[in-house]
Structure 1
């Protein structure tokens, strides 16, 4: 990108190649994310949109009865 720039070369010598380090880290995170998401893409699991409602999360609060103020 900046191969012919002496200022860029000096910054690389002083601080390291930060854009290259960021690119490598982003690629690593992308690979890790693909690994984590792979079970969700399994063909043995039917998609949630096949007429089956997803179960409500366990942490979901029940609705308050009418007339009671929220906490």
Structure 2
């Protein structure tokens, strides 16, 4: 599903400002993976 189908203005904002929510999500996932490795936790299954 594309964000543009739900909110057409989103594409314009991404062009102007970058994909901030996507960047934050990516950084959070990387940090979660790092911490899971440090603490020896299992990675959750993705739906």
Q: How much is the aligned-residue C-alpha RMSD, in angstroms?
A: 1.7
2:26 counterpart residue number: 24
Richer in helix (by share): 2
CA positional deviation for 1:13: 0.2
Gap runs ≥5 in structure 1? 42-71
May I ask how many residue pairs the two structures share in their alignment? 39
Gap runs ≥5 in structure 2? 42-47
Greater Cα radius of gyration, structure 1 or 2: 1
Higher relative contact order (CA 8 A, sep 6+): 2
